[in-house]
Amino acid sequence: MSDLPDAPDSDMESACSDEMQPRSPLTRDKMREGHARWVTEIHEKQEFKILVSMVKQPATLPENAVKHLAELSLQCKADDGLGDHCYYTACSFLEVVALTMPDQQHDLLAFIHQLRATTLTDPVTGEAILYDGVVWRDLPTFGYTIADELGSFSGAEDDCTIEEVQRWENLIAFFAQLDASTSDPELDFSNTWALTALTWAFEDPASTRPTDITLRLACLWYIFDADKLWLKTQSRQFDNYSLESWNCWKQCLVNWQSAFADPRTRLLIDGALAQIKRVEASA
């Protein structure tokens, strides 16, 4: 999941490139308009249609989606469009994840593991096809696409729409579940995005209390990935995971149980504390 290649041009890029210059009067509404255009473009892509079928059509198994995607990959390579295809696959996958509730993401988790186990070979030479690594074993373009998507959240958002909040919850729940499902270092998000979410929620020096969405996303890491977070805390092999931090963050959750009015936020706090209690009891 290398970060080296540049992503292809897109409507989202052209819509925002001029507006996102320093001192630009970029507004939240303009960003939303640009994102909406980009989503519309992605939904028309064949890559998206293959991936969303796993969610919309229960008969479409992850292995079938991998097969159809591989066939499309060979076609795109023959048409000299492999780079764009890889990028649109990564973007389409994230879009499908954002639209899918956490309890319905099992096929998406299976898909990414099967894709990681797939090496696309040239039908003539038999050699592995390369673009930003081995296609699809190295998940080409996924690295920087995921980083761009998750990095677009600043930790201080307080004006997200209901739809935006749900998309963020779906995304974080997926990556927490993915992290919990494997020891593959290429799919380890606990040392990066989990820590980012926890730091935003519990260690922001500019705020005594996080926004609802910031705290919700931190709670989701505990709810879906508590075992790995606790394992890393206990191992003492990771500088950013310490028992002191673990206890401090847990106490923040305890203190905030009645501090947030939103029922959903309070529910996720309770869920996070339940998982913390569970893993501590298993030690």
User: Per residue in 253-277, pLDDT tens?
Assistant: 999 999 999 999 999 999 999 999 9
pLDDT band for position 4 (50/70/90)? very low
DSSP state of 104: G
- Tell me: do 78 and 143 sit in the same domain: yes
Domain end position, chosen among 119, 152, 185? 152
226 belongs to a structural domain: yes
- 271: nearest Cα among 244, 253, 255: 253
* Same domain membership, residue 39 and residue 124: yes
- Whether the Cβ atoms of residue 54 and residue 62 lie closer than 8 Å to each other: yes
Selected residue with higher pLDDT from 237 and 48: 48
Residues 173 and 224 in one domain: yes
Residues 218 and 264 in one domain: yes
Prediction pTM value: 0.90
The number of distinct structural domains making up the chain is: 2
Answer yes or no: do 143 and 61 share one domain.
Answer: yes
- Is residue 55 predicted with pLDDT exceeding 70? yes
Rounded to the nearest 5°, which phi and psi values hold at 121?
-115, 150
Per-residue confidence (pLDDT) for residue 38, from 0 to 100: 95
The answer to whether position 101 is within a domain reads yes
For residue 194, what are the contacts with CB-CB under 8 A and spacing of at least 6? 176, 179, 221, 225, 229
Kindly state whether residue 73 falls inside one of the protein's structural domains.
Answer: yes
Q: What is the pLDDT of residues 56-106, one digit of tens each?
A: 998 899 999 999 999 999 999 999 999 999 999 999 999 999 999 999 999
Q: Which amino acid is at 266?
A: R
| Distance separating alpha carbons of residues 175 and 188, to the nearest angstrom | 9
Measuring CA to CA, which residue among 201, 272, 194 is closest to residue 238?
Answer: 194
Is residue 209 one of the residues assigned to a domain? Answer: yes
- Mark whether 147 and 198 lie in a shared domain: no
Claim to verify: residue 145 and residue 120 sit in the same structural domain = yes
> What pLDDT, in 10s, does the model give residues 200-249?
999 987 778 999 999 999 999 999 999 999 999 999 888 889 999 999 99
The gap from C-alpha 75 to its chain's centroid, in whole angstroms, comes to 28
Give the confidence band of 9 by pLDDT, cuts at 50, 70, 90. very low
Range of the domain at 220: 168-282
Q: Are 58 and 100 in contact (CB under 8 A)?
A: no
